[in-house]
A and B are shown apart, each in its own frame.
Chain A
Amino acid sequence: MTAGTVDERVADTGRLRRMLIRPELGAVVGAIVVFAFFASQSATFRSVDGVANWLDPASTLGIMAVAVALLMIGGEFNLSAGVLTGTTGLILVTLATRFGWNVWAAMLAGLAVALLVGFLNGLIVVRTRLPSFIVTLGTFLMLQGINLGVTKALTGTVQVSGLRRADGFESARAVLADSVTIGGTGFRVAILWWIAVTVLATWVLMRTRAGNWIFAVGGDDRAARAVGVPAERTKILLFMTTAGAAWLVGSILALRFTSVQANAGLGQEFIYIIAAVIGGCLLTGGYGSAVGAAIGAVIFGMADKGIVFAGWDADWFKFFLGAMLLLATLANRLVRRYAEEVRH
């Protein structure tokens, strides 16, 4: 090294620049563009009723996307999260209808199973050092098999139903699956849960030790361990967090529809990851935000319902989603590159 290293230190980037290089910028811009687009196509879309309508799919997806985003910032994936929403829903309905459990007790049982699955996912990942992609792909397929096998063995069909008649249904529904009327429009309670989860996750990420550890184990696992971050515990808890979120969403949907298909949640796992990535999470970990993932879910909800409101063929939804993913990630990358250039 030559003497007299150039004195390049933290560049004071200025408030505006610092705001611009937030991870969720791409998602915010994307959400505005998508909203403006559909709002111009359909008057219903921009009405209060319309907003309540597209916030509904955004909410259940958003709860999962936020949890998955935390896990991705911690450097891991969870492909079993989607199917797990089905598993917890099936447990709830089966215990309540076939075995006469109180709905609340059945939900607790679902939570216990979900947390156990999350714990095992995490334990296998940190102990074997196998990529979480593979480990959770394994649990994903196993859960899918259990969901179908057990449901068929118990009912002879591929769904369980009749939750409405179970004890405690009304109170559970009121808490998780009802609507609240605000200014004459009914909003799903799930939206409140989604907001609560996003606020909590943001708080954890930005204001707690655990948040620091999540960024650290995802950003540089070796460095984190070297300074004494409990990396294994952090990762296991992150897997359990996604499992807990899957239980919440599974219960909400089961209470809403009072029946669950054996293949519920299947195919959702990638949607969660997509929302998190649109929200600024890097696949490599160590970077991202919970708010971004929540906004990613909003984009998804707007596209899901917006296509219907605009009177188009809903078959085009996936195309739209794919284009959105590519554009938002490109925007995020530009932002990151810009942020890195600021340093020089």
Chain B
Amino acid sequence: MSEDAPLLVMRGIVKEFPGVRALDGVDLEVRAGEVHCLLGQNGAGKSTLIKILAGAQLPDKGTITLGGAQVRAANPTAAIRLGISTIYQELDLVDGLSAADNIFLGHEKASLGFTRRAESNRAARELLDRLGHGEIRPGGEVGRLSPAGKQVVSMARALSHDARLIIMDEPSAALSHDEVGNLFRIIRELTAQGVAVVYISHRLEEIREIGDRVTVLKDGRTAAVGLPAKDTPTSQIVSLMTGRNVEYVFPPRRTEPPGAEVLKVTDLVVPGVVSGVSFSVRAGEIVGLAGLVGSGRSEIVEAIYGARRASGRILLDGHAVRPGSTSRAVRLGMGLAPEERKAQALLLDQSVARNITLGGLERFSRFGWIDRRRELAEARTLAETLDIRPGDVRRPIKTLSGGNQQKAVLARWLVNGRKLLLLDEPTRGVDVGARAELYAVIRRLADEGIGVLLVSSEVPEVLGLADRVLVIREGAVVHEAAARDLDEHQVLDLVMATSTGGFR
């Protein structure tokens, strides 16, 4: 292979999931010995692209060329054989096996089927030492390691293959500052040996430090290929990430001032995650929390709902919410549309009607018998109000699209009048087209006098839908302003800067 021919070329990669086109013609070019950074907002298609490279998913269209030859990684083993190692963000280690066994799982050091334990322990020891973590015992069970320790074992596993290309999906997320320095040292060693690294991170200053070139993804397409990582202006990168092809349509904000205070949070502390957050939500107002995954925004919502132990004062309409008691939160008039909709909010095999009335079954029951006719009638009315489609509420809810499922979750809380709705990533898995309807529903709920607390990783959504925005970073509110006084650049700047001094 000649020096300047790229090691990896991906052309026109398309991947569709039911209802969503995750990748819509992505191009990527990675040279041997470079750190190639992949940037993009949540939902831009980074994870899907990685999964295709790692052989976990097959592209619908497009070509992948590695080292000059067209390849097809039909499964993870094939990708590993091609020399592509992946360090996933969600760690995939087997807890019951030792560190050494995990590192060499699938390519054990063995002769005639027998593992050469001493040799694999020694090799694991070398890899861990090289990563600067000599204190991790190769024979120790992985289940007993901290997340950072597991990250190191994952990394050692990637190194144990003689990889030509290593993909690192937010490797620094679980690491402390010193450990990130260590990681960068390893990356430099690898690239010096000609290994290419695809590096994914939300932290721009890391990309400045370790990256050579940057590819920006946006809405499943490549927005820019191979920009120099060191000297492309931040403003250019951010505008490449944010400029959209799809325009969101947001309902108009209400003009009259919001009503009385519904929720008052004072000095909320979740140990290790949230450090002293105070804010309030008024009736008829939508307050947005903007922040990255891991910034503490979901924990704030869970603490308010009573699903997580926390200290501080949480008042709903003047009544204290007891930490750890979700049923009290519900009695006081809170409703939650959780992030993991399918797992935490829906009975997938049950009808739409049953999913809607679930929160208020006592209203339709007498002496323990449920009045089906009244239940159905009420569900129909709500389905009509929120325009849930298809309109037949007796269908199993799993047959509905994501957007309509989410409407059913919202309808549930309307069965017995709520004062405050907590929405965690309400448009996750919802088609871009269907989002506008959901936004309109949320706005209408607010107009009826409900306070809404909205969490979203998508900055435009927070800015477009909320009246007021709190920017959360590392467990603290770093900025608060009316949504109309903020723009996407400002907010992205704020959420991505780190406490070590920003990236300007």
Contact = CB atoms under 8 A, between A and B. Distances in A.
Interface string A100-129: 000000000000000000000000000000
A286 interface: yes
A181 interface: no
Contact of B110 (A5, A209, A343): A209
Main SS at interface, chain B: loop
B377 interface: no
A5 B174 contact: yes
Interface string A210-226: 11110110011011111
A5 B93 contact: no
A10 B140 contact: yes
Interface string A185-228: 00000000000000000000001111111011001101111111
B177 A229 contact: no
Contact of B149 (A9, A219, A226, A342): A9
A4 interface: yes
Interface residues of A, number: 37
Contacts of B249: none
A207 B94 contact: no
A232 to B, nearest CB: 11
B93 A223 contact: yes
Contact of B105 (A3, A7, A216): A216
Contacts of A223: 92-94
A111 to B, nearest CB: 22
A139 to B, nearest CB: 28
B176 A4 contact: yes
B349 interface: no
Nearest to A217: B94
B330 to A, nearest CB: 30
- B contact residues, range: 35 or more
A220 B105 CA distance: 12
Interface in B316-372: none
Given A2-B273, A215-B97, A227 B92 contact: yes
A323 interface: no
A286 B96 contact: yes
A115 to B, nearest CB: 19
A130 interface: no
Contacts of A315: none
B95 A227 contact: no
B147 A5 contact: yes
A208 B273 CA distance: 42
Contacts of A222: 92
Interface of B: 54, 56, 75-77, 80, 88, 92-97, 99, 101, 104-108, 110, 113-115, 117, 133, 135-137, 140-141, 143-149, 157, 173-177, 179, 272-273, 294, 474-475, 499
Given A222-B92, A229-B106, 9 more contacts: A1-B294, A5-B147, A208-B115, A216-B94, A219-B95, A223-B94, A226-B56, A228-B106, A287-B96
Interface of A: 1-12, 207-213, 215-216, 219-220, 222-229, 286-287, 339-340, 342-343
A-B pairs, top 7 by smallest CB distance, nearest first, are A228-B77, A228-B106, A223-B92, A10-B140, A343-B144, A227-B106, A209-B108
11 contacts: A1-B173, A6-B146, A9-B135, A10-B141, A207-B114, A212-B105, A216-B105, A220-B93, A223-B92, A223-B93, A343-B144
